[in-house]
């Protein structure tokens, strides 16, 4: 018996209704179905007055979502998609993302096209597009041990953001990319982004758009103090270590739905994840079409000149 999964946003009534309908349809077609909510991939935020909560990356996989599962359906918006990949990437499960939210930049199709999408998916009529993910780890030196303590870790598909707290001054960071020398950045924060995340926060901060198949990462300073501090694109195989160089704590946010406080003695390490995000594509991926439809890239804003016949 083939096996499929459903991950849905349980705070949206439409996603709950569609999840129930989809489960009935798949069961009637002879599929075993496992259901989970997207909240399982949202790690939440630590608080200053309690220890950092460390959830191992592989511990987020929902019950029943294993290597025997052929595919899973995601019902929600971009936040649910990001959460779902954090849950299923260790099991290598490809996801068909169905938009029940607003923009849905990461989604493949819409809820009004559900029937056709499901038929095409269960027939195996699709391609799989793999996208780079990151592992983010926070370490703190331990006075009694030679090795620092791992406090927190998570995977992300878009970006890691390390920034100042509200009502505090500009921050200083020392950043090491791969084996290159440390560089100093004075800014409100720094973003380490994947190509998928290049159309998210890093785009708003002035970073370039990177097509998904390019094997790179990018570092984008947020409101840098120097004109010399600009976005940097580098190999996906180069890990990044960030050292805060200031007396105040910082805030780290991963994919907009998980994070923790970073103290001056901590260090943050970002590197390519051993797992990838596997998107089910019902038609050949066309990134520029998505850019045009969702962000308006490449649309004409003025009338094009027309040829004029000379007298």
203 is in an annotated binding site: yes
3-class SS at 154? strand
204 is in an annotated binding site: yes
Contacts of 124 by beta carbon, 8 Å cutoff, 6+ apart: none
Contacts of 190 by beta carbon, 8 Å cutoff, 6+ apart: 161, 162, 163, 173, 175, 219, 220, 221, 222, 242
Residue 44: left if φ>0, alpha if ψ -120 to 50, beta else—which one?
Answer: left
Q: Read off the DSSP letter of residue 275.
A: E
66 is in an annotated binding site: no
159 is in an annotated binding site: yes
Q: Within 13 Å of residue 138, how many CA atoms lie on the same side as its CB?
A: 27
43 is in an annotated binding site: no
59 is in an annotated binding site: no
169 is in an annotated binding site: no
201 is in an annotated binding site: yes
Rg (CA), the chain: 21
Q: Which of 58, 66, 78, 238 is catalytic?
A: 78
257 is in an annotated binding site: yes
CA distance 23 to 32: 9
79 is in an annotated binding site: yes
Q: Known catalytic residue: 78?
A: yes
Q: Residues marked as binding for NAD(+)?
A: 78-79, 158-159, 188, 199-204, 257
Q: Residues marked as binding?
A: 78-79, 158-159, 188, 199-204, 257
Residues with a known catalytic role: 78
């Amino acid at each position: 018996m083939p096996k499929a999964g459903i991950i849905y946003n349980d705070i949206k009534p439409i996603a709950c209704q569609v999840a129930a309908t989809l489960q009935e349809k798949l069961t009637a077609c002879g599929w075993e179905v496992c259901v989970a909510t997207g909240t399982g991939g949202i790690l939440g935020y630590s608080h200053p007055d309690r220890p950092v909560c460390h959830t191992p990356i592989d511990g987020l996989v929902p019950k029943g979502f294993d290597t025997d599962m052929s595919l899973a359906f995601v019902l929600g918006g971009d936040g649910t998609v990001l959460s779902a990949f954090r849950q299923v990437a260790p099991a290598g499960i490809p996801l068909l993302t169905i938009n029940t939210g607003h923009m849905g930049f990461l989604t493949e199709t819409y809820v009004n096209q559900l029937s056709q999408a499901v038929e095409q998916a269960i027939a195996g009529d699709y391609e799989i597009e793999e996208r780079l993910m990151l592992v983010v780890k926070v370490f703190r030196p331990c006075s009694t041990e030679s090795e620092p303590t791992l406090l927190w870790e998570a995977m992300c598909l878009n970006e890691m953001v390390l920034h100042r707290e509200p009502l505090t001054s500009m921050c200083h960071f020392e950043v090491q990319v791969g084996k290159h020398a440390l560089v100093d950045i004075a800014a409100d924060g720094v973003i380490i982004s994947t190509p998928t995340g290049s159309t998210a926060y890093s785009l708003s901060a002035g970073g370039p758009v990177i097509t998904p198949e390019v094997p790179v990462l990018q570092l984008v300073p947020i409101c840098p103090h120097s004109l010399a501090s600009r976005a940097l694109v580098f190999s996906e195989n180069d890990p990044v270590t960030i050292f805060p160089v200031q007396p105040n704590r910082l805030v780290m946010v991963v994919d907009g739905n998980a994070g923790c406080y970073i103290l001056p003695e901590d260090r943050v390490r970002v590197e390519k994840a051993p797992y990838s995000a596997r998107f089910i594509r019902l038609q050949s991926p066309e990134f520029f079409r998505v850019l045009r439809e969702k962000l308006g890239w490449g649309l004409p804003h003025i009338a094009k000149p027309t040829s004029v016949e000379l007298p």
